[in-house]
Amino acid sequence: MIEVSKDILKNIYKPRPEDSRKYDFGMLVVIGGSDFYSGSPALASMAAFRAGVDMVRILAPKRAADIIASFSPNLAAYPLEGKWLDKPDVATLISMTESAKIVARENAAVVIGGGLGRSKETQEAILEYLSHISVPVVVDTDAIYAIAQKPDVYKGKNFLFTPHGYEFFVLTGKEVIGKTDEERIKATQEEALRLGTTILLKGKIDIISDGKEVAVNKTGNPYMTVGGCGDTLAGIAGALMARGINPFLAGQAAAYINGKAGEIASESKKDGLMATDLIEAIPEVLH
């Protein structure tokens, strides 16, 4: 079993060549948000930028996209029709993802789920979209609920699932809340093997497994219970996968970076910690 340390970053964050071009370090497509929730895709995108991705495209329902676009000039948000993701939007999602692959010379990945909601229409749209794409994907929050209904969608694809304890139950049917670390490790490895994917089970100790190997990450602290710290984790993982890092390694590195940034930010913020504070601490972790 691997215990994640800062050494994992040495093979990822090397000095950039002088002739580096835009998109050499990836383009991330973030799909999330709804009429009520707009923060999740924004936080994931900002964390991805701080983790070194070259560009982020946010695809969100109109109200969420408009809010996100006004939040920062760094964020490019494309407005979908309607108040939430629906099946008529799927063609746009696929087209924008395929164009990202072309523009970024295959250095592309997707983060999907945050704030999308769990209506029948939205869950069906998520499944249809994921069944048609071939880029690496971080599957978070509401997208986990969708895929749990049809696991064949991700067979043979480079997906990284980032569930907390209850979402792990939704995905696998296995209860890990209240279990010992040893039991959680065993369940994560067994389910990753059974499902043929990579799982990052979030908790006091993060557990990452591709079914063959297992890694544990011990960075982080109780101040990170604040909303948005899971979104930042997904964004960091997506940034790493967009530059070609495999899901197992990306999950380990993202868990370490997110947890360590939370530790740094909470030194001064304590109970006042917000996810945006964590994002600003990411560069300190990397260097």
> What was the pLDDT predicted at 157?
92
User: What percent of the chain has a predicted confidence (pLDDT) above 70?
Assistant: 100
pLDDT band (50, 70, 90) for residue 141? very high
**Class of the domain covering 2-6+24-282:** alpha beta
Pick from 165, 228, 171: nearest CA to 198: 171
For 261, residues 6+ apart whose C-beta sits below 8 A from its C-beta are 232, 278, 279, 281, 282, 284, 285
pLDDT band (50, 70, 90) for residue 154? confident
Q: Which amino acid is at 73?
A: P
> What was the pLDDT predicted at 221?
97
For 227, residues 6+ apart whose C-beta sits below 8 A from its C-beta are 39, 275
